[in-house]
């Protein structure tokens, strides 16, 4: 049994072994934001220097560089207790708490629990794109006509095949990802994303991911990785294709959803990180809504008016 006691918090990087307790807690939280994927915490937590702890039945996540910056806690039980624990931890360090990754519902919850104690800022660049499984699998109607045309052209033009990622072909996906990076002159955030993709491939079976690839003439020209995020949402972590094969992205997208996500209602294709090209591509699939993200900044206590003479 776990108790709320801020003196007992021990933060550390996540490992694959932590999936056994983190995944069930995040699953029950039923959040649709990509921050609440164990995979993203494991892989991106290393890049962004995050550390984690279990307090009660909640996952606490904070920045190593700035321990006053936390992800809004999710888990099982009374979130107010977890937030109070965080507030105490930050106060002990002499800082001012910043909570990030808040959905609109989480922002409303925080304001109800701590009225007028936080300022809120909306961050468009990290909002997740949410689509329906029906739209991505069927590509029906006039608004999806360009996507259907690309899929149809791909199917007619190339000698293609679709495969589930297995131990027998996963090394080809790793090689394809490295080639993709070389062709696209990866640097900065693109190189980081490619490194994350290879890390996910390396722990693919340990974390029981879903994945698929496309071949043309026997060569792997696209692959993708995803998994269930909660009871109604499937999340796509990685999708890569060689653009010289026109329609490859649209093809792997549709086929993967048809083979793996038909028991879900929504698909989270994560954010665009402020990249305008990526934003245009994700908007072209007509999300049904954006999973908004907010930052909450704890306000300092109001100054005392003082005693004075009476």
When pLDDT is averaged across residues 119-135 and rounded to a whole number, the result is 97
Sheet holding 294-298, edge to edge: 50-55, 57-63, 69-76, 98-102, 294-298, 118-122
- Concatenating the DSSP letter of every residue in 167-220 gives TTTHHHHHHHHHHHHHHTT--THHHHHHHHHHHHHHTTTTTT-EEEEEEETTEE
Output the pLDDT for position 309: 44
| Rounded to 5°, angle at Cα 237 from 271 and 103 | 40
Please give the pLDDT value at position 167. Answer: 98
In the predicted structure, residue 7 carries a pLDDT above the cut 80: no
Residue 52 and residue 166 share a domain: no
Both 281 and 144 in one domain: the answer is yes
Tokens of 178: 């490295």
The sheet carrying 210-216 orders its strands as 160-164, 210-216, 219-228, 233-241, 266-268, 128-132, 289-291
In a domain, 215, yes or no: yes
pLDDT at 288 over 70: yes
- Asked if residue 116 and residue 140 are part of one domain, the reply reads no
* Rounded Cα–Cα distance for residues 204 and 193 (Å): 16
**Could you tell me the pLDDT band of residue 303, with boundaries at 50, 70 and 90?**
low
| Mean pLDDT over the full length of the chain | 92
Do residues 198 and 258 both lie within one domain? yes
Per-residue CA distances from 290 to 10, 103, 136, 275, 283 (Å): 34, 10, 16, 16, 10
Does residue 6 have a pLDDT over 70? Answer: no
Residue 310 pLDDT greater than 50, yes or no:
no
In degrees, to the nearest 5, what angle opens at C-alpha 22 toward C-alphas 213 and 49? 80
Q: Judge whether residue 189 has pLDDT over 80.
A: no
Residue 3 scores a pLDDT above 70: no
Question: pLDDT value at position 185?
Answer: 78
- Structural domain range at position 212: 128-291
Residue 110 has pLDDT above 70, yes or no: yes
**Assigned domain for 68 exists:** yes
In this prediction, residues 152-162 reach a mean pLDDT of 97
Residue 78 shares a structural domain with residue 205 = no
Query: Is the domain of 139 the same as that of 242?
Result: yes
Res 300: pLDDT: 80
pLDDT at 295 over 80: yes
* 5 — pLDDT class (breaks 50, 70, 90): low
Distances (CA, A) of 15 to 20, 37, 51, 197: 10, 14, 11, 17
Residue 170 shares a structural domain with residue 185: yes
Instruction: Name the least confident of 1-15, 18-32, 151-165, 258-272.
Output: 1-15
Three-state SS for 261?
coil
pLDDT of residue 186: 74
Q: Which SS3 state, helix, strand or coil, does residue 54 take?
A: strand
Maximum pairwise Cα distance, the chain = 91
Indicate the pLDDT class of residue 306, thresholds 50, 70 and 90.
low
Looking at the fold, whether 110 and 150 belong to one and the same domain comes out as no
* Nearest alpha carbon to residue 16 among 35, 43, 47, 37: 43
pLDDT average, residue stretch 84-94? 91
pLDDT surpasses 60 at 220? yes
pLDDT at residue number 179: 95
Q: Is residue 42 part of a domain?
A: yes
Neighbours of 165 (CB within 10 A): 21
The pLDDT assigned to 305 comes to 55
The predicted pLDDT at position 1 comes to 39
Report if residue 34 sits inside a domain.
yes
173 and 262 in a common domain: yes
Q: Residue 251: what pLDDT?
A: 98
Rg of the chain over CA atoms, in angstroms? 22
Query: Any idea how long the chain is?
Result: 310
pLDDT score for 302:
62
> pLDDT at residue 252 above 80?
yes
276 and 215: one domain? Answer: yes
What is the residue whose two structure tokens read 């190189």? Answer: 191
Residue 307 belongs to a domain = no
Average pLDDT over residues 54-69: 93
Give the model's pLDDT for residue 304. Answer: 54
The rounded percent of the chain whose pLDDT value lies above 90 is 83
Residue 212 lies in a domain: yes
Give tens-digit pLDDT for 161-183: 999 999 999 999 999 999 999 88
Q: For residue 6, what are the CA distances in angstroms to 53, 83, 85, 302? A: 11, 11, 6, 25
3-state secondary structure of 41: helix
The reply to whether 268 and 133 lie within a common domain is yes
Whole-angstrom Cα distance, residue 232 to residue 290?
Answer: 16
Confirm whether 199 is domain-assigned.
Answer: yes
Domains: count for the chain: 2
Whether residue 38 lies inside any domain: the answer is yes
Write the CATH number for 114.
Answer: 3.40.630.30
Q: Would you say residue 17 has pLDDT above 80?
A: yes
Q: Are residues 44 and 153 in the same domain?
A: no
């Amino acid at each position: 049994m776990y108790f709320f006691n801020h003196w007992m918090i021990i933060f550390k990087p996540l490992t694959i072994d932590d999936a056994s307790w983190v995944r069930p807690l995040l699953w029950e939280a039923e959040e649709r934001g990509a921050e609440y994927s164990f995979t993203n915490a494991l892989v991106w937590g290393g890049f962004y220097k995050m550390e984690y702890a279990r307090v009660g039945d909640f996952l606490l996540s904070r920045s190593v560089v700035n321990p006053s910056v936390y992800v809004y806690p999710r888990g099982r039980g009374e979130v107010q207790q977890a937030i109070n624990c965080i507030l105490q931890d930050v106060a002990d360090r002499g800082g001012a708490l910043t909570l990030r990754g808040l959905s609109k519902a989480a922002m409303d919850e925080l304001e109800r629990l701590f009225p007028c104690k936080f300022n809120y800022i909306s961050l468009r660049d990290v909002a997740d794109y949410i689509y329906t499984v029906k739209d991505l699998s069927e590509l029906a109607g006039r608004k999806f006509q360009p996507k259907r045309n690309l899929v149809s052209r791909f199917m007619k033009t190339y000698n293609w095949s679709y495969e589930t990622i297995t131990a027998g072909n996963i090394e080809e996906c790793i090689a394809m990802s490295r080639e993709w990076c070389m062709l696209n002159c990866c640097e900065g955030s693109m190189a980081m994303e490619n490194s994350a993709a290879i890390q996910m491939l390396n722990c693919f079976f340990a974390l029981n991911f879903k994945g698929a690839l496309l071949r043309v003439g026997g060569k792997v020209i696209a692959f993708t990785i995803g998994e269930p995020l909660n009871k109604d949402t499937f999340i796509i972590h990685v999708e890569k294709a060689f653009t010289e094969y026109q329609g490859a992205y649209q093809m792997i997208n549709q086929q993967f959803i048809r083979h793996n996500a038909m028991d879900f209602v929504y698909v989270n294709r994560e954010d665009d990180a402020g990249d305008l090209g990526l934003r245009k591509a994700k908007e072209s699939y007509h999300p049904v809504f954006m999973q908004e993200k907010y930052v909450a900044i704890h306000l300092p206590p109001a100054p005392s008016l003082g005693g004075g003479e009476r």
